[in-house]
Amino acid sequence: MAEALTPRSQDYAKWYNEVILRAELADYTPVKGCMVIRPYGYALWENIQAGLDRRFKATGHQNAYFPLFIPMSFLQKEAEHVQGFAPELAVVTHGGGKKLEEPLVVRPTSETVIGHLYAQWINSYRDLPLLINQWANVVRWEMRTRLFLRTTEFLWQEGHTAHATEQEAQEETLRMLEVYSDFATRDAAIPVIQGRKSEREKFAGAQTSYTIEAMMGDTKALQAATSHNLGQNFAKAFNIQYLDRQNELQYCWTTSWGLSTRMIGAIIMVHGDDRGLRLPPVLAPVQAIIVPIWKRPEERAQVLAAVEGLKALLGDRVRWQVDDREEYTAGWKFNEWELRGVPVRIEIGPKDVAREQVVLARRDRPGREGKSCVPQAQLVPSLKELLEDIQKNLYRQALEFREQHTQETDDYQEFKEVVAGGFTRAYWCGSPDCEQAIQAETKATNRCIPLEQPEQPAGHCIYCGQPAREQAIFARAY
């Protein structure tokens, strides 16, 4: 812990890996591309789960679980889907010492197996809408992996719904996009842009894909969550039909949407600094760390007795821990918990005991600027107010950073110069050829067509100069 982290400005990728390993969020495993999520990292994921699960259930969704193994023939029923996932599939050909009659795919996503079952469960308009989510792991055989951002196996949730009309499916798709946006801004303190994916970038097999895009601390973009209107593509492939009110057979309209442990990577990169993590209080596994301080043996008893009083005051009102390890100095502990991103440190020493106070040190503001003395009797309300302010401040800082590194241009030469330094907003004609050429020449991809467009959308494509009706966000991405 005493060794300084690599500065982000020196080597951002190295800093990122060091933070994850030293803060004990995750570690590597003997299987290339896979990771183990350690208890501190998993506690963060559990808080992410809780925030999302509450929102899912408030919008009428129920949790279920579907199998890990999917018959290969299922993926082959939807042509775009199998073509999009073919390079990433892990396939099981033997089981129990025998060759399988049909190869099984280890779940890369579940549209196909869920479609198969929905066809059995849905018979009438009375069965609709069917709103199901599952928390699961998936496997995608990635060539280049990075902890949390892109691993062979990762955790996520995937929602799958079926509706009677195209309008209902579209409303569901945008509703869940808004749920993700609300979670990102309120819980993760990450500003995001809601947008539609281009045809070239959309989910394989979808009619329309939507995304929330976030800017990381190195100005690159990260796709933080997606929501897909699948139209009737999977319904027709798996024969998901229902009898309508006129007793006529109709195909359903389906959606799918997901957010993964990639969100942990986003939290690290959006909020982290050269001293380590800075976790938003809503999601932090530990919101406040109590550090008792003493030098002489006779001071120990009175300080620890005061700590017991603090523990009784805090109860279950916040998530707290006490670091009373005697083999480490107070300074060492300060550095460790700063590395771990705990939002508030509560310091208490002999002088504080005598004055019936504590010192609160906020992680988002280093040094004396972030310290304040609070009467012990006022600890709970003061701490809650401080945590709320830290949550807002982290969001405000992230938003200011994104705004500082977002530019709008209609000149392609300028575009090529500025797109490497953040988000570039420019008109685009909708041609995949222009999109592909821009990526080849600048390494920037079309992240999305923002749902919020200029009041009078009219311009010329940044690449070909043809008339364009919409602006897109271009950026280099993870």
Angle at which helix 12-22 crosses helix 262-271, to 10 degrees, equals 110
Q: Is the pLDDT of residue 216 over 80?
A: yes
Query: For 217-229, how does the pLDDT look when each residue is reduced to its tens digit (9 = 90+)?
Result: 999 999 999 999 9
Query: For 139-150, how does the pLDDT look when each residue is reduced to its tens digit (9 = 90+)?
Result: 999 888 999 999
Q: How far is CA 142 from each of CA 68, 89, 148, 217, 257, rounded to the nearest angstrom?
A: 18, 9, 12, 24, 21
Residues 179 and 240 in one domain: yes
Is residue 350 included in any domain, yes or no?
yes
Residues 178 and 243 in one domain: yes
Q: Is the pLDDT of residue 457 over 80?
A: no
Residues 293 and 211 in one domain: no
Q: How far is CA 257 from each of CA 161, 174, 205, 224, rounded to the nearest angstrom?
A: 9, 10, 13, 12
Q: Residue 390 — very low, low, confident or very high, per pLDDT cuts 50/70/90?
A: very high
pLDDT for res 403: 98
pLDDT for res 431: 97
pLDDT for res 87: 85
Average pLDDT of the chain is: 96
Q: Residue 81 — very low, low, confident or very high, per pLDDT cuts 50/70/90?
A: confident
Residues 229 and 296 in one domain: no
Residues 22 and 148 in one domain: yes
Q: Is the pLDDT of residue 1 over 80?
A: no
Question: Whole-angstrom Cα distance, residue 234 to residue 248?
Answer: 20
Evaluate the CA torsion angle 439, 444, 448, 452 in order and state its sign.
negative
pLDDT for res 404: 98
Q: Is the pLDDT of residue 127 over 90?
A: yes
Is residue 341 included in any domain, yes or no?
yes
Which position has the token pair 């281009």?
198
User: Which is nearest to 478 in space by CA: 217, 257, 253?
Assistant: 217
Residues 191 and 265 in one domain: yes
pLDDT for res 219: 98
Q: Is the pLDDT of residue 86 over 90?
A: no
pLDDT for res 250: 98
Residues 292 and 266 in one domain: no
Residues 40 and 66 in one domain: yes
CATH code assigned at 459: 3.30.110.30
Domain, as residue range, for 329 = 288-385
pLDDT for res 227: 98
Q: Is the pLDDT of residue 374 over 60?
A: yes
Q: Is the pLDDT of residue 10 over 60?
A: yes
Q: How far is CA 113 from each of CA 73, 276, 392, 399, rounded to the nearest angstrom?
A: 10, 41, 41, 40
pLDDT for res 82: 67
Q: Is the pLDDT of residue 77 over 90?
A: no
Q: What is the mean pLDDT of residues 31-54?
A: 97
Q: What is the mean pLDDT of residues 441-464?
A: 94
Q: Cβ(314)–Cβ(320) under 8 Å?
A: yes
Q: Residue 176 — very low, low, confident or very high, per pLDDT cuts 50/70/90?
A: very high
State percent of the chain over pLDDT 70.
Answer: 99
Is residue 92 included in any domain, yes or no?
yes
Q: Residue 281 — very low, low, confident or very high, per pLDDT cuts 50/70/90?
A: very high
pLDDT for res 458: 84
pLDDT for res 3: 78
Q: Is the pLDDT of residue 93 over 60?
A: yes
CATH code assigned at 188: 3.30.930.10
Q: Is the pLDDT of residue 326 over 80?
A: yes
Residues 129 and 196 in one domain: yes
Is residue 398 included in any domain, yes or no?
no
Q: What is the mean pLDDT of residues 36-63?
A: 98
Pairing of strands 445-450, 470-475: antiparallel
Residues 250 and 101 in one domain: yes
Which strands sit side by side in the sheet containing 288-292, from one edge to the other?
320-322, 288-292, 344-348, 357-362, 371-375
Q: How many domains does the chain have?
A: 3
Residues 20 and 88 in one domain: yes
Question: Whole-angstrom Cα distance, residue 179 to residue 58?
Answer: 10
Residues 87 and 214 in one domain: yes
